[in-house]
Every structure is written in C-alpha cells, then in structure tokens.
C-alpha cells in the first residue's frame, strides 16, 4: 500500500482581524477625525475634561432644563417627543447610578 503525504492545515496562517477602524496599535496612534482647530481641542481636553465629561455636564444641564420647564407635562409635545425625553432622562439616571456605584467602590 502506498502512502501519500499531505500537509494538513486546519487554521489560516494569518490570524489578524481589524477590530476598531482608525485605531493603530503602533504605540496607540488614534485618529478621531478632522478638527477645525486641533490646538483648541487639545487644550479643552486637558483643561476642561474628556469628551465624556463634557457630554455628562451637558446632559445634567439639559436634565435641569427639562424638569424646570416641565416639558414632560407639556401638551405641546407629541408622545414620541416625550418618549425621546424619557429615554434621555433614563440614560442620564443610568450614568448617575454607575458613577455613584464606582465612587462608593473607590471610597472602600
């Protein structure tokens, strides 16, 4: 009986796959897109806060406006508009809950 040698390859030779576009792991070069004034943007990130922090401040301020103007009770809003505000307020509350949980863990 004659035997034939055939190399068996069960997996591809290259196992790389891009996970996030615009990310490069060459010492973490991250391209977030074009900006009209990169120096101002960098200063804002360093002196004001991260984008998440800035968005959080906007969300909390908008929450105050929604509640003070009693927009959820307004007859001038369609139900879909009320629903959008409720979803937004729910997101703000969920983030607040996460922050409280992590603050209490950090204090422990």
In tens, the pLDDT along 9-59 reads 665 666 565 666 665 555 555 566 677 888 888 888 889 988 889 999 999
Query: 81 vs 25, 73, 75, 78, CA distance in Å?
Result: 42, 11, 11, 5
Query: Averaged over 57-65, what is the pLDDT?
Result: 96
Q: Which two tokens stand for residue 103?
A: 């603050």
Q: Is residue 6 over pLDDT 70?
A: no
Q: Where are the domains of the chain?
A: 37-107
Place of tokens 């009693």: 70
Residue 61 confidence class, pLDDT cut points 50, 70, 90: very high
pLDDT at 22: 61
Would you state the pLDDT for residue 35? 79
Residue 45, both tokens: 């990130």
Give the span between the Cα atoms of 104 and 48, in whole angstroms.
24
What are 67-90's pLDDT values in tens digits? 999 999 999 999 999 999 999 999
Q: What is the pLDDT of residue 64?
A: 96
Task: Find, among 52, 55, 56, 77, the residue nearest to 66 by Cα.
Answer: 77
Nearest to 66 by CA among 96, 87, 95: 87
């Amino acid at each position: 009986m004659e035997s034939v040698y055939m190399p068996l390859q069960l997996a591809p030779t290259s196992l790389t796959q891009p996970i996030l576009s615009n990310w490069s792991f060459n010492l973490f070069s991250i391209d977030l897109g074009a900006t009209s004034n990169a120096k101002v943007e960098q200063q804002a990130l360093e002196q004001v806060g991260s984008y998440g922090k800035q968005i959080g401040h906007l969300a909390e301020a908008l929450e105050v406006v929604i509640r003070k103007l009693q927009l959820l009770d307004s007859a001038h809003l369609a139900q879909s508009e009320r629903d959008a505000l409720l979803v937004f307020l729910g997101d703000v509350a969920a983030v607040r809950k996460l922050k409280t949980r992590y603050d209490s863990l950090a204090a422990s």
